[in-house]
């Protein structure tokens, strides 16, 4: 991977005008360890998630365009789109079934009303 996550984090910290001490406090690290974070090309997911939360930026998304994350993400999106398609089709089917049921109920109401009228005529 050609991504230098530490430099990306450093740029974000600097854009927010945070000092090393302030940033370190936010991520529960001593200020002297912050330069080490900036030098890292890799880091633990836990730390990356913590930094993402503190800086309100998704640093994991930086890796989405790199393999294998790109392929995994593409596969996941395809699966989700298929699920959406299936749910939409099922929803449409159920909506048609509901409409048919409503029509049936209306027809039954009309039939009941008709039968009541017919019975009323025979009572005389």
| Structure confidence by residue, pLDDT tens digits, 49-99 | 999 999 999 998 888 777 777 788 788 889 999 999 999 999 999 999 999
Residue 105: phi and psi, rounded to 5, are -60, -45
Structural domain that includes position 83? 67-124
109 and 75 share one domain = yes
For the chain, what is the domain count? 2
Residues 90 and 58 in one domain: no
Among 63, 78, 102, the domain boundary falls at 63
In 3D space, the residue among 69, 30, 27, 23 whose CA is nearest the CA of residue 47 turns out to be: 27
Alpha-carbon distances, residue 47 vs 19, 24, 91 (angstroms): 18, 12, 42
Residues 43 and 11 in one domain: yes
pLDDT (tens digit per residue) in 10-64 = 999 999 999 999 999 999 999 999 999 999 999 999 999 999 999 999 998 888 7
pTM of the model: 0.56
Tell whether 57 and 71 lie within a shared domain: no
Residues 81 and 58 in one domain: no
Tell me, yes or no, whether 16 and 58 share the same domain: yes
Both 10 and 25 in a single domain? yes
Give the CATH number, domain containing residue 53: 1.10.260.40
């Amino acid at each position: 991977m050609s991504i230098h996550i530490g430099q990306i984090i450093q740029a974000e910290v600097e854009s927010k005008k945070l000092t090393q001490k302030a940033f370190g406090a936010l991520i529960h690290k001593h200020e002297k360890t912050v330069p080490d974070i900036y030098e890292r090309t890799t880091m633990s997911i836990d730390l990356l998630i913590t930094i993402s939360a503190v800086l309100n930026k998704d640093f994991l998304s930086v890796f989405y365009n790199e393999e294998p994350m790109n392929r995994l993400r593409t596969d996941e999106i395809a699966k989700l789109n298929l699920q959406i398609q299936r749910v939409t089709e099922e929803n449409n089917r159920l909506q048609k079934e509901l409409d048919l049921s409503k029509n049936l109920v209306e027809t039954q109401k009309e039939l009941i009303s008709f039968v009541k009228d017919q019975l009323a005529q025979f009572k005389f």
